[in-house]
Structure 1
């Protein structure tokens, strides 16, 4: 077997070194991610330049790249909070967020990759406790859910807005009250509903009664006006008119046998 030329060994060593260097220098940023560059000999975290975008990048092997997810993320948080009267309430909230893209370097430098646990979650807990403490259990259970959700969002946003975090939405998914309080509220709501239904029936019955009275009054007024307008002469003329029409009917056989007290003919018989 022939010996390798003396120059071959250094070439192999150099090639291995190049491969190692390239492997350490090549950085791939995935979809929905961005990279923060850390220069070991150049001032540390780069904060005055945009973060590394998606795709393939070559960096010096002595530098580092910290990869962050920059698309919207969701974090579900369960916590115990106190209502305005000191009752323990279990609250489940979902927060939608993402790091501010152009301030990713600042976020890494000041908050690190643990920014969710160090900043976001403490902020949502603090805001939830502050907001829920303004309401009674009954308000939390029924009418104020949307208002509480919006207030928690606004309170959290005030805290994280200057912490390089973009808050998109806070959703209150569940509010759990102590069983005894929940049962008492449900009984009260049921009683209020029954009371409203009873009042509705009373109002409906009253309106129906008023309608009947108005109709009866109208008929009475019409009869009084009609009675006042009728005279003996008019009644006699109407009687004669009706008698003539009856006598002209082909199904009637008319027999006149005198007259009544009013002078009207008396008609008997039919077919």
Structure 2
């Protein structure tokens, strides 16, 4: 009899109770008799009565929301872009999120806030800026504007990434032409700089030759010239060839004795 009562008690407990596991990167929200409990349920095993209560699980890890959106530019053009919104839910805000927004909070609040922010920020920039180094500035500005509206709701926007930006065809051609012209200008500047360097080199070389000649000219004194002439006379006197030498005693002029003239 006692065994039967124990079995019936266990069966009764199983019928009117249940258990769920809240894993890492999740938070639980308990709803009993239609009311949300204000305390979030952290990781671990949680028991509840399935007839009166439910436990709603929400992710607290970083989520990636992919959106394809047209970006209006300052000059009135439309730039198509794929955007990644990286965000996460603060676990302590989970009960309020379920109570006020429900589980479909991405469509209810995050996406509308993003569309508003991206329109406000992108309209301050030219279309070409979204394809250059200004892209990171635009991404940060969108993220910061979203945070001002989502922080108090319990969401943290980690980053907004503009991807696969498609510019209007005419603008794409204009940007390509401009880049090509800039590259041509850079090549021409390189050639000019090279020619200037070569001109400087030739000037320095000419100045060196001039200075060397100047030094030599300054060193040729009359005494040195006479000394060199005497050395030349001595070498000529020891030469076996017949020669006729006409001199002023300073500079020799040699005539070949075998010449017909």
| Cα shift readout 1:213-262 (whole Å, capped 9, x = no counterpart) | 23212322331343133223223435666898x89xxxxx9437565633
Q: Does 1:36 pair with 2:29?
A: yes
* C-alpha displacement of 1:134: 1.3
Query: Segments of 4+ in structure 1 off by > 4 A?
Result: 10-16, 238-244, 256-260, 263-266
Q: Does 1:93 pair with 2:88?
A: no
Provide the residue aligned with 1:54 in structure 2. Answer: 43
Provide the residue aligned with 1:137 in structure 2. Answer: 127
Cα distance in 1 for partners of 2:159, 2:203 equals 58
Cα distance in 1 for partners of 2:160, 2:175 equals 26
* C-alpha displacement of 1:80: 0.5
| Counterpart selection for 1:118 from 85, 108, 126 | 108
Provide the residue aligned with 2:14 in structure 1. Answer: 19
Cα distance in 2 for partners of 1:190, 1:124 equals 36
SS of residue paired to 1:188: helix
Please tell me whether the aligned partners of residues 240 and 264 of structure 1 are also in contact (alpha carbons under 8 angstroms).
Answer: no
- The runs of 5 or more residues in structure 2 that have no matched partner are 257-261
Please tell me whether the aligned partners of residues 88 and 156 of structure 2 are also in contact (alpha carbons under 8 angstroms).
Answer: yes
TM-score (norm 2): 0.82
Count of residue pairs the alignment pairs up: 250
Cα distance in 2 for partners of 1:57, 1:179 equals 57
Change (3 A) 1:53 1:243: farther
Provide the residue aligned with 1:178 in structure 2. Answer: 168
| Counterpart selection for 2:60 from 41, 49, 70 | 70
Cα distance in 1 for partners of 2:128, 2:173 equals 11
Provide the residue aligned with 1:45 in structure 2. Answer: 36
Cα distance in 2 for partners of 1:243, 1:179 equals 89
Provide the residue aligned with 2:94 in structure 1. Answer: 104
* C-alpha displacement of 1:36: 0.7
Q: Please report the RMSD computed on the Cα atoms of aligned residues, expressed in angstroms.
A: 3.0
Cα distance in 1 for partners of 2:163, 2:246 equals 90
| Cα shift readout 1:170-219 (whole Å, capped 9, x = no counterpart) | 22222111112111111111111111211221122122112212321232
Cα distance in 2 for partners of 1:157, 1:237 equals 96
